[in-house]
């Protein structure tokens, strides 16, 4: 058995019917490249074969009423691919918006915790003959980087089925009796946790003082709970809405090279401009900059005794978004400056402090508090922690095939939270930048207007970049 880390388990404790803690990826493929032609049965069979080489997809949760620590992963000895891979028809006329509407309905459903926490929906009936795949995985077993890794394992450079890695086929989470779960949990909780807490305190004490110092000089990350309130920062319902767009990656790189910034700065400038355009057109633009949470991977960071091994090796960086800047040229320069300030501040904080404190998350208490927070709609009574999640994931810049189908678009997305109801995820792949937005339609009924603003903001920036000289 494998014990969940505190951060992994926290996503279980925080889940409610209206706050679904799943990570998803929508992949649009061309089924004409599949060897032997596309059928749902053959695609499900191939997925079943591939899962044998993906240990993370074969494990399920296990717990005991006498366990005082976090749950564990065990191998699912009753695994059946039919319980995980399903198909559904996209409503007529079968366009991208109808596909997104169906995916939004599925993303809003809580995963069944009695089996491995993932499923794959094959969406048929698109007007152009394409097929969409929706992969859902619980945040307890993946973070953004892990989803990219799993997609990388499933995707290949050719449409031909790859051989399985025999070492991964043999890898297993093992089993765990209720006694083992309870005894191991007691050892962790009563012996190891107090020692870890004592070592965590000295690393934590300087953090608030340094944050206050930087806040006074204006050279650091914005403090949480000081973001302006927007329509995104309200209690959620169980409904979800998605919207997608694709931007030419070469155009993004032209802007990056001309202004001497990083791709992430361009993404933040475009996101800030799109949010400004969307809110201003509705008379809702705050005077002060919006605040974004940018997930940052801490893979490879030394964990020491602060945290236990886990799947979610990620922390968050607060950064201002240039929504208060009207000129697109000034906006990209301000986005770069905001990004440098946030990175400098975030780099001075131990990457594992937040994950270290998550080890002490009390499951039952945390779940009860979350339910009270939802029932009383408390997220509308305090200032927002931040306004939106803005994530930029670098994918492979080459043609990919998923289960034999040529990949034409990949839109990964993370969860939204009560009071934090907008997730923006950007992933580059094969010459395009895929933009995926997730929100709640009761907060944002017109999410497609926001995603279309990403294209118009890139056009504004491109208009300021001189044309390249012709080749001689």
* Enclosing H/E stretch for 366: helix 363-375
Please say whether the beta carbons of 430 and 453 come within 8 A: no
Catalytically annotated residue among 84, 138, 139, 418: 139
* Enclosing H/E stretch for 46: helix 40-51
Q: Is 139 a catalytic residue?
A: yes
Q: Which of 280, 274, 328, 324 is nearest to 449 (CA)?
A: 274
Question: Under DSSP, is residue 414 helix (H, G, I), strand (E, B) or coil?
Answer: coil
What 8-state DSSP symbol labels residue 228?
P
Please say whether the beta carbons of 6 and 200 come within 8 A: no
Please say whether the beta carbons of 275 and 206 come within 8 A: no
Q: What is the DSSP string of 372-407?
A: HHHHTTGGGTS--S-SEEEEEEE--SS--EETTEEE
Q: What is the end-to-end Cα distance of the chain in Å, rounded?
A: 64
The residue count of the chain comes to: 472
Q: How far apart are CA 7 and CA 313, in angstroms?
A: 9
CA distances from 130 to 33, 123, 154, 408 (A): 11, 9, 19, 9
Active site residues: 139
């Amino acid at each position: 058995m494998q014990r969940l880390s505190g951060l992994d388990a926290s996503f279980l404790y925080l889940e409610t019917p209206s706050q679904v803690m799943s990570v998803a990826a929508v992949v649009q493929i061309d089924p004409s490249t599949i060897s032997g032609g596309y059928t749902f049965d053959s695609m499900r069979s191939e997925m079943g074969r591939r899962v044998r080489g993906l240990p993370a997809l074969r494990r399920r949760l296990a717990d005991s009423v006498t366990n005082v620590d976090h749950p564990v992963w065990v191998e699912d000895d009753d695994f059946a691919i039919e319980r995980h891979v399903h198909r559904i028809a996209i409503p007529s006329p079968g366009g991208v918006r109808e596909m997104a509407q169906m995916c939004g309905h599925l993303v809003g459903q809580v995963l069944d915790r009695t089996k491995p926490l993932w499923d794959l929906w094959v969406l048929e009936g698109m007007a152009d003959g394409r097929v969409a795949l929706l992969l859902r995985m619980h945040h307890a077993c993946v973070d953004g980087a892990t989803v990219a890794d799993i997609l990388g394992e499933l995707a290949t450079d050719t449409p031909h089925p790859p051989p399985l890695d025999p070492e991964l086929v043999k890898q297993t989470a093992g089993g765990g009796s209720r006694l083992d779960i309870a005894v191991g949990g007691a050892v962790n909780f009563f012996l190891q946790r107090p020692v870890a807490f004592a070592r965590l305190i000295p690393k934590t004490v300087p953090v608030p003082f340094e944050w206050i110092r930087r806040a006074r000089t204006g050279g650091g990350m914005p403090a949480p709970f000081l973001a302006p309130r927007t329509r995104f920062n309200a209690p959620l319902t169980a409904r979800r809405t998605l919207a997608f767009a694709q931007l030419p990656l070469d155009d993004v790189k032209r802007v990056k090279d001309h202004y001497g910034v990083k791709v992430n700065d361009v993404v933040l400038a475009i996101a800030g401009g799109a949010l400004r355009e969307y809110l201003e057109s509705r008379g809702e633009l705050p005077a002060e900059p919006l605040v974004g949470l940018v997930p940052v991977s801490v893979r490879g960071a030394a964990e020491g005794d602060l945290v236990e091994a886990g799947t979610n090796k990620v922390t968050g960086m607060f950064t201002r978004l240039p929504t208060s800047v009207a000129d697109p040229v000034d906006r990209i320069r301000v986005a770069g400056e905001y990004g440098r300030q946030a990175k400098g501040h975030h780099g001075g904080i131990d990457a594992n402090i937040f994950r270290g404190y998550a080890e002490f998350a009390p499951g039952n208490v945390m779940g009860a508090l979350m339910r009270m927070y939802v029932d009383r709609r408390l997220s509308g009574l305090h200032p927002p922690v931040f306004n939106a999640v803005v994530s930029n994931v670098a994918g492979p810049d080459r043609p990919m095939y998923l289960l034999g189908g040529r990949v034409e678009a990949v839109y990964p997305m993370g969860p939204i939270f009560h009071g934090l109801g907008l997730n923006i995820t950007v992933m580059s792949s094969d010459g395009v930048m895929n933009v995926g937005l997730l929100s709640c339609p009761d907060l944002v009924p017109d999410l497609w207007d926001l995603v279309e603003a990403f294209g118009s903001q890139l056009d504004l920036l491109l208009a300021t970049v001189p044309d390249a000289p012709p080749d001689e």
